[in-house]
Amino acid sequence: MFLAGEMRPTTPPPDFDLEANLETVRRLRALEPSVTFYGHVGPGEDAVAELDRYEAMLPEWVETVADFRDRLGDDVDVIVEALDGRWMSPTVNRDVAGVLEYLDRTDD
């Protein structure tokens, strides 16, 4: 998600999959796009750089949610309250829920 010039992770349930999302980013980058169009927001400025940032951000986001889950439990609202502002977006509760579902599937 690109909001007010800032990138935020988008990890909705029930189908968020970190590895699949990273592979999609890599496939898009291989196309060497010049611009990225964000739904409801419009174009970005440097598509390849934005893809690089998103590729780095997603694992950090998943790790952040996993760390909070380990310390605080799996209550979405509790985890959202513990996050710092750089992760906040209008969909942060949904995105935390998506990561929690992903972690439940991959922890087995």
Q: Where are the domains of the chain?
A: 10-106
Question: Which residues contact residue 10 at a Cβ distance below 8 angstroms, ignoring those fewer than 6 apart?
Answer: 1, 91, 95
Classify residue 13 as exposed, middle or buried by CB count within 10 Å of its CB (0-12, 13-18, 19+). Answer: middle
Nearest to 34 by CA among 50, 19, 56: 50
DSSP helix/strand/coil, 15? coil
Phi-psi region of 40 (alpha: psi -120 to 50; beta: other; left: phi over 0): left
The fraction of the chain above a pLDDT of 90, given in percent, is 79
Q: What is the pTM of this model?
A: 0.91
Asked whether the predicted pLDDT for residue 90 surpasses 70, the reply is yes
Q: What is the average per-residue pLDDT within 12-25? A: 95
pLDDT for the residue numbered 1: 62
Q: pLDDT tens across 47-57, in order?
A: 999 999 999 99
User: Binning pLDDT at 50, 70 and 90, where does residue 42 land?
Assistant: confident
